[in-house]
Amino acid sequence: MSGIVQQPEFVAAHNWHKEKFLQPASCSGLEHFPVSFRHGDHPSAELMQNWTVRKDLPWIADGTTTDRIVFTDALSGLECRCEVKVYADYPALEWVAHLSNTGETDTPILSDIVPLDALFPLDASASCQVHYARGALSQLDDFEPLATPLTFRQGGGRLDLAVRTGKSSTLTLPFFNLEMGSGGVIGAIGWSGGWAASFRRQGDGIRVRAGMERTHLVLHAGESIRTPRILLLFWEGDRTRAHNMWRRLILDYYTPRPDGQLLQPPFSEGVWGARTAESHLEKIRWLQENRVPTECYWIDAGWYGDRPIEETADPSTNAWMTQVGTWSPNEEAYPGGIAPIGAAARAANLGFLLWLEPERAFEGTQLAREHPEWLLGPVPSGNAHGDNYMVNLGDPAARRHVTDLVSNLISEGGITCYRQDFNDLRVPELFAMADAPDRVGIAEIRHITGLYAFWDELLARHPGLIIDNCAGGGQRIDLETMSRSVPLWRSDLQCWPFDPLAMQTQTQGLAPWVPLSAAVCELPTRYAFRSALGPGLVTHWSSQELDGGIDLPIQEIRRWMGEALTMRKYFYGDFYPLLSFSLAADAWAAWQYDRPDLGEGMVVAFRRHESPFPRWDAALKGLDPAASYELLSWDDRSVRRMAGEMLMVDGFSVLIEERPGSALFTYKRIS
């Protein structure tokens, strides 16, 4: 699907790779090397002029060529190794740097370690802006697209971004699109902890710096650390086309493949964990008997611990939070453990998802009692029962324990999707408590790389496993987590009264950066279902009817879920917003997903509950203007045959008489 790429984009990526990496590897152009740090009182660019440099033979695998460039300081033994991956079918390159102490004594202080420190040339008169998006603060504007112009003036225009919470996508997604004149570069900061980025307009271009928020550390003899991973994709012309090239790159190279197949987020029936095993079995029977076309049975928090289960408890109570760290099924509620539920799910042809939060332990729980040496903290929880600790995955013994614990639960329950949460700990404060003054950043580096090792080991032991990356609802979405997991709960906003408008804005905000995620539907209406259309879906029908006493329209639910399943293939295609992003209740929202490889696509439009306008003309994108298409309305089943050029230039009329209301169309090339 890489036919979207234009030759000038390959040239731009090739030239950048040559200037920033290949020339420095030949001891020329060292000032362009994009990895920088301070070595004591000296900038690395100054010192590395006198270091030895080695470039290993490149290796080619899976459509990429990887170079390894190693700089070594003969005096201190400090080694800077950079592995650079270049793509054959995308104008993109990715790298990660490693700093190692090969000497026999501590290094000088290494500070301000920045894996992306580069100038992107641009004439002072040319336009420039940085496109990016909000993170997930459990607000209606989660993932809202933002843009900041960088205008050249005295002192230069500047944009500074930082996550500040220790979780990679709380305030801002760790992606950017630097638009410069008629082209630009899309970038990702692959780090699941604290990161910072700055964009500064200078007379000769844009200086971009991105890396961890805080580094000021010595490396002991034999010690090594890694930097955040950086991915850049170069583009020319249309910015929407550039984002679709990015989506294809992410799907092709940064999306998990359980059992060798491209990940497909499941349609899941979510159930609160503080329930009895019998109630879960009853819900699975209810799903079977009512032929609800879901794919996975989801047990969320509250299933563990040694305190009595309160079946009236829900996510708003804090009992589930105080038991985190005692990771055994509650004996009162689950006398046979989780295995009978997993067996019932398999018999019903369902997957099985289980929630855990292994990076947090509450005061007095089993892990906190038995292994206090593995914990960071505490930090006040605001709970009368005690405080929170963080489980240090940078400790190899702690990581082995957590890996074995989770792996055993996966095997015992036949779990097909492991859901990892990471709630509101004061993460930067915990890391700061663990770091000595000359080791600032080391606790975070060890923990985050330990997280990757933990997930990689789980995926190696359980090849078909899907990891759901929650982290307080969408707060750890980045290049590294995307390559191992998928966000099935993309914001904790939906823990409160469900709003279809939020599902629409989350989809439109995330889609240019993150191809795969899941939305939530808690209202049995066509408008709500279509607001949640996506590659995955989370529902709560069995709990609403069996626990809440709601008489659901099962036949309509089956029909709307069947419709959603039919649409799922389109979300692996190109994304085109057909209307500007809006949070307004009186607006319309609409977008198109196009599969050029299939000659098919879908269009969904929403008239929100305060919109006074019943009609809108939709002009489509990305079609073959010379081809004919059949356009099917999923509301009145009418079919129109239209030329691609007409669909893109004149468009077609969309009428939605209801408020709120929706319209859904699919199209297929027929000639």
Pairing of strands 267-271, 296-299: parallel
Q: For the whole model, what pTM was predicted?
A: 0.97
Residue 381: its pLDDT value, please? Answer: 75
Long-range contact set of residues 18-24: C-beta below 8 Å, sequence gap at least 24: 20/118, 21/67, 21/69, 21/82, 21/84, 21/95, 22/55, 22/67, 24/53, 24/69
Mean pLDDT of 266-280: 96
- In CATH, 574-669 is 2.60.40.1180: yes
The H or E element spanning position 73 is none
pLDDT above 70 as % of the chain? 98
Q: What is the pLDDT of residue 316?
A: 66
pLDDT in tens, 453-462: 999 999 999 9
Per-residue pLDDT at 671: 77
CA dihedral 170, 265, 185, 598 (to 10 degrees): -160
Chain centroid, CA 362 distance in Å: 27
Q: What is the mean pLDDT of the chain?
A: 95
- Whether the Cβ atoms of residue 304 and residue 360 lie closer than 8 Å to each other: no
The least confident of 16-30, 81-95, 241-255 is: 16-30
pLDDT at 312: 66
Q: Report the pLDDT value the prediction gives residue 313, as an integer from 0 to 100.
A: 67
Residue 348 is predicted with a pLDDT of 98
CATH topology of domain 2-253: Beta-galactosidase; Chain A, domain 5 (2.70.98)
pLDDT score recorded for residue 156: 65
Parallel, antiparallel, or unpaired for β 536-539 and 267-271? parallel
**Residues near 656 by beta carbon (within 8 Å), at least 6 away in sequence:** 605, 606, 607, 614, 615, 616, 662, 663
Q: CA-CA distance, 491 to 136, in Å (whole number)?
A: 6
User: For the domain 258-572, what is the CATH code?
Assistant: 3.20.20.70
- Could you give the CA distance from residue 80 to residue 30 in angstroms, rounded to a whole number? 13
The DSSP secondary structure of 607-652, one letter per residue, reads E-TT----EEEEPP-S--TTSEEEEEETTT--EEEEEHHHHHHT-E
Residue 510 main-chain phi, psi, to 5 deg: -80, -35
Rounded Cα distance between 336 and 567, Å, is 39
Q: Where are the domains of the chain?
A: 2-253, 258-572, 574-669
Determine how many CB atoms are found less than 10 A away from the CB of residue 155: 8
Confidence at 1, pLDDT banded by 50, 70, 90: very low
By C-alpha distance, which of 254, 191, 200, 197 is closest to 226? Answer: 191
Q: What is the pLDDT of residues 371-382, one digit of tens each?
A: 999 999 998 877
**CA separation (Å) from 358 to 325, 398, 485?**
7, 10, 16
pLDDT average, residue stretch 506-526 = 97
pLDDT reported for residue 311: 66
